[in-house]
Chains A and B, each alone.
Chain A
Amino acid sequence: MSSSISAAATTTLVLEGSEQGFATTRFEDVLNWARKYSLFQYPFVTACCAMEFMALASPRFDMARFGAEAPRFSPRQSDLLWVVGTISQRQAPVLKTVYDQMADPKYVLAFGTCASSGGFYDNYTTLAGIDKIVPVDVYVPGCPPRPESVIDGLLMLQDKIARGDRTAGVVKPRFDPVQLRRKA
């Protein structure tokens, strides 16, 4: 095999067939690679979405495959805040405190429609989306979302971490009705 250099990612160079066999990359990339596969999660679980969260954590869907295995019930030890369910105005200060206690870098995933936007609760008592008080990295819509779409959200978050992208992203439905109609 002849010695060649191929660009795997924009920043990673792999030298193949060389005598030494080494790779160059940037420190940030290695760090992000480590971060994305070791997300310690803090489950802030308040409502019916918890059922899907349990399914997600159990062997059938097996969140542990993606390195997001260990739930930490101390915000100080966790990287990823799962907000699973409706947040009322009365709970909002608690959520804010939990978020503030997490150490950087920290990520937030809004699990389900209620956490993302308040859902069908448009009233005096419900917080209309947790992004009103904490920044959200990934929104997973659904009432509740299927575990597959939450896994999509987790993978999207991992990609965002790898790319150093902190803009918010939304998980699309698996079968986008609009796209299906366009194809037909």
Chain B
Amino acid sequence: MTEGVVVTGMGIVSCIGFNVDETLHSLMIGKTGIGKISILDSIHRDEFVLGEIKLTQKELMEKLGVDLNLPWTRTALLGVWAARQAYQSAGLSTNSGKRIGLVSASTVGGMDRSELYYKDFLTDAIRKNHIDTHHAGNSTEMIADDLNIHDYLTTISTACSSSLNSIMFGARLLRHNLLDAVIVGGTDALSRFTLNGFNTLMILDHEHCRPFDATRRGLNLGEGAGYLVLERTSDALAGKKQVIAQVAGYANANDAFHQTASSDNGEGPFLAMQRAVAKAGITAQDIDYINVHGTGTDNNDLTEGVAMKRLFGDQVPPFSSTKAFTGHTLGATGVIESIISILSMNNDKVFPNINFKEVIEEINLVPVSQLTDLHINHVLTNSFGFGGNDSSVVFSKVPSNISGL
């Protein structure tokens, strides 16, 4: 009854690659992008490792060839970079008569510049240009202006689950025929604000993170952006578009347990996964692989594991966290891992949960820790955040006769 929605374009920028091909390559050879801090100017520089994109603000602006007179935030630049790729790979154009929208996600918006210029806002005439780049919608508007998008735009922020929710909302806009194509995803740059914030929570690992490992000590932050182009299945087929994946199911649930900690029984994550699978019209047994949220914090991995066991019983499908490659990219993490999930599915490979050695006794779940061949028809990806915001999305393989690949 409801109209299907498919992915017709992808774009991604993170510490493991500046485009889809580079990302795939890093995942295949098991190369992490996490390392010593060299871009972010923080007193914690030597204390932590980060998934940084190794380009300065100036280098980013030059690389993208953007108007240097505009007040760019790093968040906006990363967003523009990934969104351009998605737009081009889907073959979109603004004079096609199609209604094109943009639904982007971000957690701290333009904080990367605000935290540098905050004390100058009242005195420095040049810095004042950055007063209005602070709000979370700024990067969305910078991307929209770069791609000349006018038909619809909005921004979502639900902490670390933000960009999975932009996929959901975008799919709804298509199903209600309010748009013909929608660019969905998110962008977040590293900032001292988030590094220090997570540090006060004492959930940052000083070493490389070890998701789902018994000795895990916390997460590594990262930065990046990712966007998908979504279109209705019928339009994509009529337009003989390349169809990359189907957005089969999605759900958003709230743990309603505690502001930062997740519940012992993993209720929110359980509901998000269960409802997403139901929405896809499949059963839990049909899920071939899960790209888990797996941040490497004590609390998340335990809860996520408990929730997976509740849904899948003793038949938990092969799963891995790819955060030891990219770091936790906050508002971008949902879409970045969606792209990784799609790459996994379309290449029939499970990318490894690197740094895993020792199983967590309480849940006794072993992630896939080596690159593994696996036939994947349906992939589930999770993102959970503060405020109890939990989201899951199911992507399904496109039948080979219509994929156009």
Partners in one complex: no
Interface residues of A (CB under 8 A from B): none
